[in-house]
Amino acid sequence: MGIDLFFDPADIDADGGSVRGWASSLDMFCARILGNSEDLSAQFDDSAKEFDEITGWNLEGASEEDRQAWRDAAGAVRYCAAVTERWADDIDEFKRERNRLIGLWRDEKQDAEARIAALDDANWFSSLFSADKDQIVAELKDRLDELNAQARTNWDTLMDHADDRRRELTDGPTPANIRSLIDAGYVNWSLFNIDPVRYAPEISPHEADEWGQKLSEAWKTGRRGEEYDNLMMMLTMLSAKVLDSEKRGLGVNRADQDTLKAIFDAIDEHSGGILNVPRYLDVLGESDEGRAQVLGTLADGILVLSREDLHGGYENLPEDIRTALGSGSWAKGGDATKGWGADIEPLASILEHADGDLMGGKDFSALLTAVVGANASPEFLHPEGKEFFERNAQILLDVSTRNNEANHAILTDSFYHPDHRNDEAHKEDYKIDAAGVVQGIFVYDWPEPAPGERTPAAGLIAWIPELAHQGGLPTDDLSAEDMAARQMAGEAAAGLINLLGSDALFQELTDTGVPVHDEATGTTRRDLTFTQYNPALADALADVFESYVGSFALEYGFPAGYGDGGSSTIDLHWRLEDGESPYNPADGTIKLGVTERLRFLQYLAANEDSAVRMVSISGTYQELMLGGHLATGNGITHGTRAATLQGLVDAAFNNEQAEREADLGQEQENRKATAEKFLSASKDATALLPTNWLPYLAGQVVENVGKEIVNQAYNNYIDEAPNWSNYTSPATVQKRVDLEILGRMVEAGKDPFTNARDVDGQSVESILREAGILTGTGEEMHVRTDGSLMNGPGGTRPVVISQAIRNAIDSQDVDWIGGRPMNGRDFSDEYVSPYATRYDDIRAQLFYDRADYESLENRQNPFGMRTDEDR
């Protein structure tokens, strides 16, 4: 018997498979917008990537507006695809429920019909059992009502989902909608990778404590709920959103920093200190990949929280981090043996996994550098041993020295602990001991870095040359950003040179007491300069010298008024006026005292490789100054500057030997060996120089000096060095200048030989041809300015050759610079005379002997050096 009851719940024509196909088509369209293959999710939904990594187009030259249009188009399509996929699942869920209800109705109706049929078959008098039949039908009607109610609920749910999807499409990718898609599993990284700022999920500060508790519990116990991966992903996204907002100039939302701080504070609280997290992971036996994910997320978050330019700062850091940096071992008078020994490894374990391009804030970075410097001091012996300290300290220095403002604050001795810098009465007690920090970092015997890598300790100063000439030549129009970068680099360079040249550090850095074993001799020495066993630091100092070489030749501290009969005394006590900046923005130079310059160069002289660079740089500078004189006729300025630099370099070599108790006669041989080493490496002087370096050396007056002149003249200089006993003396410089002037005269078509006075009865022309200096005739006549030819090839005495050249250039007047004709000899003397005066002053007053250094070691004041009391 059939029962006249029917169940036909509402349905829709759409099916999930078709809708899901539309979502897939949208994803393929998104991939094509981005210039990638159709496999979009594999491209960028499984992990964090930069926008340039997920697009196959070359957007290098695209404007930010065009890039944003690309982001918006790709993001809109990807978002629609995710919502469409969610709608497909809604449809499938609706149809599954509808089919389930239909199946239930079919089964229950068939059961009811079977029961009624059984009653009919078992009873002849079925009318007697009509009440039983009615009961079965009534029960089925009740069941039908229940199923209809469930069907209506299922339909209403579908309609609610339809409204939600419609609203999501209408409202677009709001943070709340993104969070909903992430929580539901329809989006991981894809939208965030397209635009971290616009498509970051919504995270409420009210969730912070719950997040901190859940994450800490997971790291302690290893029990990770279904939310764990999403929590980690969104925590990473929050840090990245803050960074991307700043990177793209969109402005950082302070609320994002507040939320990040709240989450990290909660982690700190529930972990018993965030520095405990690495230990928890070790106890659990966490995989390397899992450990890197957790600690990398924490490291990036810590650095973002510490950034003042991102609305963060030292005060935003978790308490455990601030406690580790607050031991006071870095302050003047602080105890370097107490404070943070237990914190170095977990802090390094976390920061080791930080993004390599991410820096911390100024205060955090400066304190971290200061703590490492204080605890790297020789008197500090870490209980875990040297290798333990080195590994962890280098990790921390690698991170801390990424912030140039922090490096600047340390090198200029101007950093106060952020908790106390506004306390005028006591802030001096909380000032970083810059000398102690620099001493600790420079004196420590760091392991040699791998080829092509930089030792983290050099990071404190390696940035200076990079910013020294940012934006181009001084004559270019510079942006405010470029000017600020140059000034920061200049001030830091001056601060570095002043620190290293101070009495407080000079003795400590030149007689370090660090035991260094020489495998060749089998001996161990303790009296070395730090650059002898830390070559990476020596190289970094040479970079600074190269960037500011012109500043080493300036007049500060030297007697003024060449030729007026004034004092020739060099002022070793020269210093800036109070409040005066050492940086000159007009030409990019810095103002340095004489003692500081000399001591800085002595550090370079102590290391063979940096000594080679110092010789090459100073020699090139000499030739640039000569070129400047030939181009402008300003011999006083150019000759004096050339002598100032070369005199200081020679004094540095002399003084380094004096301090080492070596035979002073060996000093010349060492300089020759240095020059020979450079000669074997390269003869292209200008190839050694960074872009735009040449005009800086001599100032803007020699910008018209050609590279060919520089290279030829420098080749002369370096060729002569191994053969002449004193190749930078005024007499030798005069020979080079005379020869160069003779070459210019011949090149200009002049005849300096016909009227030239003979030398010892032999004509000047024949002497120079025999020596190989003069070749060709007529228009093909040429002067070879190879300085080695002046040593007398063919038996000709060098003094005869020199006199022949002098007589030649004295034979006629030449209008060298327009409007001021004079003979070549006088033109040469205009350069050589001020050179000789300055060089002789330096040789007389700055070339020290062993007795001078013994006085310094005894804390006396030798040769009028400036003492700490003078500062």
One-letter-per-residue 3-state SS of 327-374: CCCCECCCCCCCCCCCCHHHHHHHHCCCCCCCCCCHHHHHHHHHHHHH
Taking CA atoms, 689 is separated from 76, 545, 693, 785, in Å, by 50, 12, 6, 23
Report which of residues 778 and 497 the model is more confident about.
497
Q: What is the pLDDT of residue 280?
A: 96
Name the more confident of 527 and 318: 318
Same domain, 804 and 823: no
More confident residue, 865 or 98: 98
CATH code for the domain of 23: 1.20.1270
Which stretch of 450-454, 658-662, 743-747 has the lowest confidence by average pLDDT? 658-662
Same domain, 21 and 41: yes
pLDDT value at residue 55: 76
Q: Give domain status of residue 869, yes or no.
A: yes
DSSP run (H or E) holding 108: helix 64-122
Give the side-chain half-sphere CA count within 13 A for 597.
34
Last residue of a domain, one of 762, 793, 811: 811
Boundary of a domain, candidates 160, 190, 220: 190
Determine the angle formed by the axes of helices 707-720 and 730-747, rounding to 10 degrees.
140
User: How far is the C-alpha of 460 from the C-alpha of 397, rounded, in Å?
Assistant: 8
Taking a C-beta distance cutoff of 8 angstroms, is the pair 694, 623 a contact? no
Do 697 and 579 fall into the same domain? Answer: yes
The DSSP 8-state label assigned to residue 281 in this structure reads: H
Token couple for 370: 């200061």
Q: Give me the helices (H) in 703-763, please.
A: 707-720, 730-747
DSSP conformation class of 649: H
> Looking at the domain assignment, is residue 858 inside a domain?
yes
Clarify whether residues 515 and 576 are in a common domain.
yes
Mean pLDDT of the chain: 83
Secondary-structure percent of the chain, ordered helix, strand, coil, rounded to 5? 65, 5, 35
d(CA 319, CA 297): 18
Assess contact for 55 and 34: CB atoms under 8 A.
yes
Look up residue 155 and give its two tokens: 């339909």
> Is 799 in the same domain as 659?
no
Phi/psi of residue 782, nearest 5 degrees = -145, 140
Tokens of 477: 């129009």
Q: What is the pLDDT of residue 795?
A: 58
In a domain, 252, yes or no: no
625 with 642, same domain: the answer is yes
Task: Provide the whole-model pTM.
Answer: 0.80
Confidence at residue 462, expressed as pLDDT on a 0 to 100 scale: 96
pLDDT at residue number 276:
95
Task: Name the strand (E) or helix (H) holding 783.
Answer: strand 782-783
Of the candidates 230, 178, 236, the residue with the CA atom closest to the CA atom of residue 48 = 236
What is the percentage of the chain residues whose pLDDT exceeds 70?
82
One domain, residues 621 and 756: no
Report the alpha-carbon distance of residue 621 to residue 713 in Å, rounded. 11
pLDDT (tens digit, 9 = 90+) per residue, 139-188? 999 999 999 999 999 999 999 999 999 999 999 888 888 888 888 888 88
Over the stretch 227-254, which tens digit does the pLDDT of each residue have?
898 899 889 889 988 998 888 788 888 9
Is residue 282 assigned to a domain?
no
333, two tokens:
């008078």
Signed CA dihedral, 216, 222, 226, 231: sign only: positive
Tell whether the model's pLDDT for residue 214 goes beyond 80: yes
Question: 649 and 788, same structural domain?
Answer: no
Residue 803 shares a structural domain with residue 824: no
Instruction: Dump pLDDT digits (tens) for 790-823.
Output: 776 555 688 899 999 999 999 988 888 877 889 9
Report the range of poorest mean pLDDT among 499-508, 574-583, 812-821.
812-821
Amino acid present at 394: Q
Residue 76 pLDDT more than 70? Answer: yes
**pLDDT digit string, tens, across residues 831-854:** 999 999 999 999 999 998 877 766
Closest CA relative to residue 638, chosen from 751, 550, 529: 550
Which residue spans within 454-602 are E strands per DSSP? 516-518, 523-525, 583-584, 589-590
Q: Per-residue pLDDT for 859 more than 50?
A: no
Q: Is residue 62 part of a domain?
A: yes
For 843-856, letters b (16+ CB in 10 Å) and e give bebbbbeeebbeeb
Which is more confident, 619 or 686? Answer: 619
Q: What is the domain count for the chain?
A: 3
Say yes or no: 695 and 783 in one domain: no
Give the Å distances, CA to CA, from 452 to 399, 419, 563, 627.
Answer: 18, 39, 50, 36
Beta bridge partners of 739: none
Helix (H) / strand (E) containing 452: none
Beta bridge partners of 813: 823
- Read off the pLDDT band of 202 (50, 70, 90): confident
H-assigned helices in 455-502:
459-468, 480-500
Contact by Cβ (8 Å): 266, 213:
yes
Q: Which of 140, 158, 190 is the last residue of a domain?
A: 190
| Residue 460 reports pLDDT greater than 90 | yes
Do residues 301 and 235 touch, judged by C-beta distance below 8 A?
yes
- Domain membership flag for residue 739: no
* Helix segments in 172-287, DSSP class H: 175-184, 190-194, 208-221, 228-247, 254-270, 277-284
- Work out the end-to-end distance of the chain between its first and last CA atoms, rounded to an integer number of angstroms: 115
Crossing angle (nearest 10°) for helices 850-857 and 503-510? 110
Q: Is residue 38 part of a domain?
A: yes
Give residue 802's domain range.
Answer: 751-811
For the record, the structure tokens of 207 come out as 């969730």
Least confident stretch, 1-15, 219-233, 373-387, 743-757: 373-387
pLDDT tens, residue by residue, 40-75: 555 566 666 667 676 777 777 778 788 888 888 888
Q: For residue 302, give both structure tokens.
A: 């810590």
| 495 within 8 A of 426, measured Cβ to Cβ | no
Kindly indicate the confidence band of residue 377, based on its pLDDT and cuts at 50, 70 and 90: low
The H or E element that residue 782 is part of is strand 782-783
Asked if the model's pLDDT at residue 864 lies above 90, the reply is no
Residue 319, pLDDT above cutoff 70: yes
Domain-located, residue 299: no
User: pLDDT category, 724, cuts 50, 70, 90?
Assistant: very low
DSSP character at residue 416: B
Closest CA to 31 of 46, 17, 41: 41
Residues 671 and 757 in one domain: no
CB 88 within 8 A of CB 27: no
497 and 515 in one domain?
yes
